[in-house]
Structure 1
Amino acid sequence: MKKIDRIYVLDKILKERRTPISVDALKERLECSQATVYRVIATLRDEFNAPINSDENGVYYDRSAQFDLPGIRLNAEETQGLLMAAQLLEDLQSDSLQKPMQRILDGIDKVLQQKGIRNRRMIQIIPALSRKPDPNVFQQVMTGLQQQKKLNISYQNRQQQEHTERLVSPLRLTSYRNAWYLDAWCHLRDDIRLFALEQIQHISIDVEQAREVSTAELRAHYADSYGIFSGPMKHTAEIKINTDMAPWTVFEHWHSQQHMEKLDGSHILLHIPYNDNRELIADVMRLGPAAQVLAPESLRKQFKTQLRDIQSVYD
């Protein structure tokens, strides 16, 4: 436990107690030596002006004094979240949103400064292969979501490069792997569809109220899918991984219903449910010779086909 963490823990202990607490008890609660307990008490009293008193039974707070530790205490994950949020806001700023966005960014900077991060730009979060949407598209999608209005969009299919005009009811906005996606009820297809924001060419807010889809229905639509793709689970992939070549894979989380089986000291077997295999194949490809698809046979065949297609480019 870090010193600053012990200071906040000690403050919490003293605020919750109505009687003095002994140094021996604090040694156990703060997970430290007696000398460290005395140093933490001295720091809280001398540097933070905490109203700490002591008697033969231990230390306690003077209840007549009003005291709170300054600032907002954040852990590493919360600090990282604020840094990522600040970067997302900066990336999505448009002319019309510059002032309100800046107010939010100033607030984030203030909180980070209380954590000791004076200049967040000294900490880099590099989004690999990011796909940024047009700021106007992002703003219109956000407005449609909040006002529960249908959206008219001109959408370009990524594979066929075809344009279609869609009327959609926005349901949820998702940031996934450095790209933004809109879950929406497509009134052309009469079903839930996923739209990549950078593929939306034109957008306008419709006058009609959006169709409502329950959270349970939306969750069920994506519950068994792998990655960003939807649909019920149809297959289970078996992927053998050499952990000598890719040791980090034992800590990776691929799917909420995955099962990891240790085969020997150098190999694990991943069981991963999926519907659409496009993202799964890409994730296995990144492991190179460290991974081998064992089942199902249809996935093995498609994997081999892609490997042959890649090889043909270099032949």
Structure 2
Amino acid sequence: MSKADNMLSILWLLKTGRRMTAKKLAETLEIHIRTVYRYIDALCASGVPIIADSGHSGGYTLPDHFIEAPLFFDLDEQKALIHAAIFAKEAGYPFGEALDSAVSKLKRYTNQEQLHHIQRNERGFDVINPPPNPAIESVLQELQRAVADGYTLSMAYQKGRDPSPQVRDVDPYGLVYWKNKWYVVGYCHLRCEIRSFRVDRIHHVSRTDALFQPPDDFSARQFFMQNLLPDAERKKLIAVRIKGKPHAIRDLCEHWLFGHALVERSEGEARFQLDEESISGYVPYFLLPYGGAIQVLEPKLLRERMVSVTKALLVHYETYSS
């Protein structure tokens, strides 16, 4: 174990309330007794009030008030960490082994009461996501290190319709997890602008010698959302009125796009503000699954697009079936 792990182990052993000699600590941790003395000195220097009693029945102990106090996390904090770990693993967190090690350490260095509390709160708490893609784990790890350490990456990236990947240098500013997909936001040297890239479309990445400094107060999350949602300052927004069955209106207002564009709503009707490009492009495809449960009242442009998209879909399947 590392020095930090051994020092933590000594603390947990002493927090059991038992008096332990340096020899006993050394045997338990399988380290040299002189190493125990060094670690005890280091813990005392950091402010831990270890009591050293000499004599035949001597040894190291901790004051009662220190034993009773949580060493690092109280019960609710431990529960929160366990639940957060479950969420992270289901999202495909790229440092899963380190996360498992941390959770195991939390369980190992705790008393029996706290361990039972952790186990009770683990049971019956599940997160269901599509299975994470194990192939992108190493890419995610390299991206995260580059974000933290500020070095430029060379990456082979393949757009959805391109036949082969294109190599480009990117300064990664941040990682974003959105709708079961990982994205990296950064400055693309090929396009000379900040862009977002789907991580599952990155074939490989390699570290370069170049370093970068991200813009002050840059938020990868904010950049990503701004590129998803209509920009009222740059685009003219059009009123979109939709009526329908209460459950359909409720579900529509909870949708990521329509929820951000919502202006007002009632049980059976909602009004949104969307830009013309979105209305002509992908909005009809978001509305199509609702079928007859909703009706577009305005604008006329969206009603016409719903008709044309539906007709095109009908022609496609009539042709396919024949």
Runs (5+) with no aligned partner, structure 2: 1-63
Per-residue Cα deviation, 1:27-81 (whole angstroms, up to 9, x for no partner): xxxxxxxxxxxxxxxxxxxxxxxxxxxxxxxxxxxxx978658942269998754
The correspondence of residues 108-147 of structure 1 with structure 2, limited to 5 A, is: 115-118=117-120, 120=122, 123-128=125-130, 134-147=136-149
| Residue identity matched to 1:166 | R
Match of 1:104 in 2: 102
* 1:311 maps onto 2:309 in alignment: no
State whether residues 241 and 296 of structure 2, in contact with CA within 8 Å, keep that contact through their aligned partners in structure 1: yes
- Using the TM superposition, give the Cα deviation of residue 85 of structure 1 relative to its aligned residue in structure 2, in angstroms: 1.7
- Using the TM superposition, give the Cα deviation of residue 209 of structure 1 relative to its aligned residue in structure 2, in angstroms: 0.9
Q: After alignment, is 243-252 or 178-187 more displaced?
A: 243-252
CA 1:84 to 1:223, structure 2 compared with 1: closer, same or farther past 3 Å?
closer
Match of 1:200 among 186, 194, 202: 202
| Residue identity matched to 2:311 | R
- Using the TM superposition, give the Cα deviation of residue 199 of structure 1 relative to its aligned residue in structure 2, in angstroms: 0.4
CA distance, structure 1, for counterparts of residue 79 and residue 121 of structure 2: 16
CA 1:306 to 1:152, structure 2 compared with 1: closer, same or farther past 3 Å?
farther
Match of 1:235 among 234, 237, 254: 237
CA 1:155 to 1:228, structure 2 compared with 1: closer, same or farther past 3 Å?
farther
Identity of matched residues, %: 18
CA 1:114 to 1:183, structure 2 compared with 1: closer, same or farther past 3 Å?
farther
- Using the TM superposition, give the Cα deviation of residue 205 of structure 1 relative to its aligned residue in structure 2, in angstroms: 1.3
Match of 1:289 among 269, 289, 292: 292
* 1:270 maps onto 2:296 in alignment: no
- Using the TM superposition, give the Cα deviation of residue 172 of structure 1 relative to its aligned residue in structure 2, in angstroms: 1.3
- Using the TM superposition, give the Cα deviation of residue 135 of structure 1 relative to its aligned residue in structure 2, in angstroms: 1.2
* 1:215 maps onto 2:229 in alignment: no
SS at match of 1:246: helix
CA 1:192 to 1:259, structure 2 compared with 1: closer, same or farther past 3 Å?
same
CA 1:157 to 1:108, structure 2 compared with 1: closer, same or farther past 3 Å?
farther
CA 1:114 to 1:121, structure 2 compared with 1: closer, same or farther past 3 Å?
closer
CA 1:99 to 1:148, structure 2 compared with 1: closer, same or farther past 3 Å?
same
Runs (5+) with no aligned partner, structure 1: 1-63
| Residue identity matched to 1:287 | Y
Higher helix share: 2
SS at match of 1:152: strand
Per-residue Cα deviation, 1:130-170 (whole angstroms, up to 9, x for no partner): 66651111111111111111111111111344422111110
CA distance, structure 2, for counterparts of residue 312 and residue 129 of structure 1: 35
CA distance, structure 2, for counterparts of residue 154 and residue 113 of structure 1: 46
CA 1:151 to 1:83, structure 2 compared with 1: closer, same or farther past 3 Å?
same
TM-score normalised to structure 1 length: 0.60
CA distance, structure 2, for counterparts of residue 109 and residue 300 of structure 1: 58
- Using the TM superposition, give the Cα deviation of residue 177 of structure 1 relative to its aligned residue in structure 2, in angstroms: 0.5
CA distance, structure 1, for counterparts of residue 205 and residue 85 of structure 2: 30
CA distance, structure 2, for counterparts of residue 140 and residue 171 of structure 1: 13
Match of 2:256 in 1: 254
TM-score normalised to structure 2 length: 0.59
CA distance, structure 2, for counterparts of residue 282 and residue 113 of structure 1: 50
State whether residues 90 and 132 of structure 2, in contact with CA within 8 Å, keep that contact through their aligned partners in structure 1: no
| Residue identity matched to 1:176 | W
State whether residues 261 and 269 of structure 1, in contact with CA within 8 Å, keep that contact through their aligned partners in structure 2: yes
Alignment length (residue pairs) = 244
CA distance, structure 2, for counterparts of residue 99 and residue 191 of structure 1: 35
Higher radius of gyration, 1 or 2: 2
Match of 1:165 in 2: 167
State whether residues 157 and 199 of structure 1, in contact with CA within 8 Å, keep that contact through their aligned partners in structure 2: yes
Match of 2:59 in 1: none
| Residue identity matched to 2:205 | I
What is the aligned-residue RMSD (CA, Å)? 4.2
CA distance, structure 2, for counterparts of residue 129 and residue 239 of structure 1: 37
